A and B are shown apart, each in its own frame.
Chain A
Amino acid sequence: MNWLSLIGIVIVILGFALKWNSILVILLAASVTGLVSGISPVALLETIGTTFVANRNMAIFIIVMLVTGTLERNGLREAAAGLIGKFKGATSGVVIGIYGVMRAIFAAFNVGFGGVAGFVRPVIMPMAEGAIKARGHEPNEDHMEELKGMASGMENITWFFGQVLFVGGSGALLVQGTLEGLGIHVELIDLALVEIPVCVIATILAILYYYIKDRQMLKKYYKDELGKDGLQ
């Protein structure tokens, strides 16, 4: 048993954990593993060449880029903001929930709206804040802090579990490629099907969790005001 061949794994774990240049870490791990395992440099380069070429399908995102930027140019973000803006009278928690549903569905089509910088900050947060003000309250600082965390959480959760439903997403392609290297063939569409229940459960859980959390905070932070203003 060649214990030394594990050094490559140590390099990957350390390298990523210490935030070294990712590409350097990968090449270094491959070279060192090859060296200590008696793989000749030529054989190593051949393995890298063959595998890279065999996995060119993972670069399919390049062709998708042909439309990604132009969709943005033609008002996709504005349309998404218009879509979510249709839900008037929603509470802050409901705004985040609706965004979650929308983001999960579009993630399955490999479509994002600009992330936290491009969508959560300029569209979702003002809507959530507006929902509080619409009920006659001054937004509480701690409540707003939690809403920011929940909106970002919703953004991440629905994106992670939604994007794996896109047939041709890089995650599934990497799984397919890794299994192929072990002599197992799987189909992309089947990989996507497996993730449907996962995505549905994760999205529903996130919506419920944030809704309940928001309701508790609404009660906690605005109770006095409710009494004072005599609202509802």
Chain B
Amino acid sequence: MSFFTNPEVAFSAKVMEIIYIFMGAMCIYTAFKNFKDKENPSQIGTFIFWFLLGIILALGQWLPPLVSGILVVLMCLPAIFKKVSKGQVAVPTMEETQANFEKIGMKIFIPTLCIGLFAILCAITGLGVGLSALNGVAIGVVLAMMILMLQNKNNTFKVFMNDSERMLSVVGPLSMLPMLLACLGAVFTQAGVGDVIAQVVGTIIPEGNVTIGIIVYAIGMMLFTMIMGNAFAAITVMTVGIGYPFVLAYGANPTVIGMLALTCGYCGTLCTPMAANFNTVPVALLNMKKQFGVIKNQVLIAGIMIVVQIIMMIAMQ
């Protein structure tokens, strides 16, 4: 409780903590719903994953780091053994969505756009009380829920909870990848991995030449993403190893360099069959004959965009 009454903690951080508690509750709801679901092939594993995630999200602020760390590892175990799955999924029927569309029509875009709008609004104005962008996301969600309730009286709180449980169960443990990669990045930093890479790469790249550093960082992001099929994994490794020691350490603008490095990675995603969800699954879904039919249509754009972004990084450093 002292956290919420402490005047030194920013208001936005206190709001955020309340949001985390609610997110934790959503995960715990998902945990229990799957636990009771006989159609879920791994009731217990699914329960453990979502329940522990819920605890870490809701109580992380107050847990000792060692306890949080143990909970994170325990949470990952059922995911590693593929014991997290989804149970009965109440996908809305075509009749239902069509009937609702006839009732609500294009006005459905109002709650849809709410979240993004409030994120921007809060990021820029703070609504006068210092709210952050992510506070705004949550406010937008609450407002979108209220609008949806007005638009269709069938949208009760239970419908929102069950639909979110459905969505969470579908995305599953892989949605934790960014957070786990951030942990890995921290371990790399603590172990001094960045320094070792810097020494190795330093024999190839002249230290202090930020322009060459940027080019290596950007193209490295693209190539690593192509190999790993995942720009999120690539940015953790590349930023610690190349981005920081060869570019950011010399005072280059971290907002421009860090963010564009990620989208340089996305250029790699466009070119690799390793990113199966984007590049090979559509081939099957659309009954295409050429296995690389999607990638071939993306390579040119990816090639131009990597050049555009390198130029931007060099010009705006």
Residues of A within 8 A of B (CB): 1-3, 5-6, 8-9, 12-13, 16-17, 19, 21-24, 26-27, 29-30, 33-34, 36-37, 39, 42-53, 55-79, 82-83, 106, 108-111, 116-117, 120-121, 125, 145-146, 148-153, 155-157, 160-161, 164, 166-168, 170-175, 177-179, 181-182, 184, 186-191, 194-195, 197-198, 201-202, 205-206, 209-210
Contact = CB atoms under 8 A, between A and B. Distances in A.
B312 A198 contact: yes
Contact of B187 (A2, A30, A83, A167): A30
A33 B56 contact: no
Contact of B188 (A33, A53, A73): A33
Interface stretch (B2-10, B40-48, B205-213, B229-237): B229-237
Contact of A166 (B119, B279, B286, B301): B119
Contacts of A75: 97-98, 100-105, 108
A174 B174 CA distance: 15
Contacts of A2: 191-192, 196
B279 to A, nearest CB: 7
8 contacts: A33-B188, A51-B183, A52-B183, A73-B97, A79-B106, A145-B288, A152-B282, A156-B298
Interface string B151-162: 110010001110
Given A6-B193, A48-B183, A57 B16 contact: yes
Nearest to A116: B282
Interface of B: 16, 19-20, 22-23, 26-27, 56-57, 60-61, 63-73, 76, 79-80, 82, 92, 96-98, 100-106, 108-109, 111-113, 115-117, 119-120, 123-124, 132-134, 136-138, 141, 144-145, 148, 151-152, 155, 159-161, 163-164, 166-168, 171, 173-193, 195-197, 199-200, 224, 227-233, 235-237, 239-241, 244, 248, 254-256, 258-263, 266, 269-270, 274, 278-279, 281-283, 285-286, 288-290, 293-294, 296-298, 300-301, 304-305, 308-309, 312, 316
A5 B60 contact: no
A67 B141 CA distance: 7
Given A60-B134, A164-B259, A74 B184 contact: no
Contacts of B61: 53
Contacts of A19: 229, 274
A2 B194 CA distance: 11
B116 A108 contact: yes
B76 A23 contact: yes
B254 A74 contact: no
Contacts of A61: 171, 175
A34 B178 contact: no
B286 A152 contact: yes
A178 B235 contact: yes
Contacts, number: 452
A177 to B, nearest CB: 4
Contact of B26 (A12, A63, A190, A206): A63
Given A52-B179, A62-B23, A182-B240, A5 B196 contact: yes
Contact of B279 (A8, A46, A146, A156): A156
A153 B301 contact: yes
A56 B60 contact: yes
Contacts of A106: 112
- Which one of B97, B116, B171 has the greatest number of beta carbons of chain A within 10 Å? B116
A145 to B, nearest CB: 6
A195 B248 contact: no
B60 A74 contact: no
Contacts of B155: 70, 73-74
Contacts of B68: 48-50, 52-53
A12 B228 CA distance: 8
- Which one of A12, A70, A82, A171 has the greatest number of beta carbons of chain B within 10 Å? A70
B112 A6 contact: no
Nearest to A43: B190
A157 B298 contact: yes
B17 to A, nearest CB: 9
5 shortest A-B CB distances, which residue pairs?
A: A75-B101, A69-B163, A49-B68, A49-B69, A45-B69
B244 A182 contact: yes
